[in-house]
Amino acid sequence: MGRMTGKVALISGGAEGIGGVLGRMIVAEGGSAMLADVQLDKAKALAAELGSNADAVALDVRSLEQWEAAVAATVARFGKLTSLCNIAGISEPGNTVDVDLDSWHRHIDINLNGTFYGCRAALSALADAGEPATIVNVGSMLAHRANPIMAAYCASKAAVTHLTKTVALDCAARGLNVRANTVHPGAIRTPMYDRYLNAGGATPEEIEVAMASAHPMGRVGTAEEVAQAIIFLSCDDSSFTSGTDLNVDGASAIRS
Ligand SMILES: NC(=O)c1ccc[n+]([C@@H]2O[C@H](COP(=O)([O-])OP(=O)(O)OC[C@H]3O[C@@H](n4cnc5c(N)ncnc54)[C@H](O)[C@@H]3O)[C@@H](O)[C@H]2O)c1
């Protein structure tokens, strides 16, 4: 029996990257996955590949109404929602003085507001599932370890970290059978990572070496390694774990 047998997950950012790999892994572990993304065609193609335990829905996480529709679509399709996975996010460089204001607001709208809307829209469906339910939000090693040229990204991910703890405490205080935790990836090989590799200023090989050296383990991570941590926090193996931060970053956040 797989670790996600009987679970129904709604995954924002489920078309590709960490969210896409997570959807694949949840289905392989016996669960069902609704892949929710602005890239609907990609999400549909992946869902078709995964078979009858996967489906896709259009979602721009900046819209609470679209979140509510995605939650309703998940319950209509699979009968319940047990596992909200807030994976969608963006990352663009910029320091406090020169960060483009549109970029600042985009980070807050997608990374922070999008995660908040997801929690808000899904909570009653998660509680109504009548069984252990979970929220996993995605932060970053940069939520712990500030980077001067990533002002908007660091601020948004640090806020997600604390938001998650408020949700965990609120669910516990209200006696809901819902846990909430944050997974913090280091640099992970995904389409987002590839955009940084090809951003210019240095060769992709030089950027890869610099990225790897930020991790005491000496390499960047894989989406599978992050998805494994999300599965752990979404399944009953972590039944007494709520409000925690799980770093999947090759010891990057704690380096001296
Ligand atoms: N890749 C890394 O190195 C890394 C490191 C730390 C944290 N993270 C975080 O992990 C999460 C996933 O990152 P990734 O590397 O897989 O990114 P990615 O860019 O490879 O994939 C992100 C997915 O989110 C979707 N998305 C973007 N904006 C959206 C929106 N407004 N509404 C709905 N979907 C949207 C994209 O279409 C895409 O499918 C993000 O929150 C990111 O900040 C990634």
Query: Per-residue pLDDT averaged across 124-137, rounded?
Result: 98
Relative to the CA of 191, which ligand 1 atom is closest? 20
37-47: pLDDT as tens digits: 999 999 999 99
Kindly report, residue by residue over 168-180, the tens digit of the pLDDT. 999 999 999 999 9
Q: State the pTM of this model.
A: 0.98
Average pLDDT, the chain: 98
Determine which residue's CA is closest to atom 32 belonging to ligand 1. 60
| The two three-digit tokens of residue 129, written as one number | 């599932």
pLDDT for residue 66: 99
From the alpha carbon of 61, which atom of ligand 1 is closest? 32
In this structure, of 3-12, 58-67, 121-130, 199-208, the range with the lowest mean pLDDT score is 199-208
Most informative mutation of 12, 21, 34, 37 for ligand 1 (most atoms within 8 A of CB) = 37
Q: Sketch the domain layout of the chain as residue ranges.
A: 8-248
Which of these, 225, 237, 148, 135, lies nearest to 185 by C-alpha position? Answer: 225
Residue 202's pLDDT band (cuts 50, 70, 90)? very high
Question: How many angstroms is it from 62 CA to the middle of ligand 1?
Answer: 14
The pLDDT of residue 147 is above 90: yes
Assess if CATH 3.40.50.10140 describes domain 8-248: no
Q: How far is the CA of 185 from the centre of ligand 1 (A)?
A: 11
Residues 217-239, mean pLDDT to the nearest whole number: 98
- Give the CA diameter of the chain: 53
pLDDT of amino acid 256:
86
Helix axis angle, 40-50 relative to 17-28, nearest 10°? 20
Predicted local distance difference test score (pLDDT) of residue 200: 87
Selecting among 117, 153, 193, 196, the annotated active-site residue is: 153
Tens digits of residue pLDDT in 39-91: 999 999 999 999 999 999 999 999 999 999 999 999 999 999 999 999 999 99
Distance (Å, rounded) from C-alpha 25 to C-alpha 15?
Answer: 13
Is ligand 1 within 6 A of the CB of residue 109?
no
Q: 200 C-alpha vs ligand 1 centroid, how far in Å?
A: 20
Active site residue 153: yes
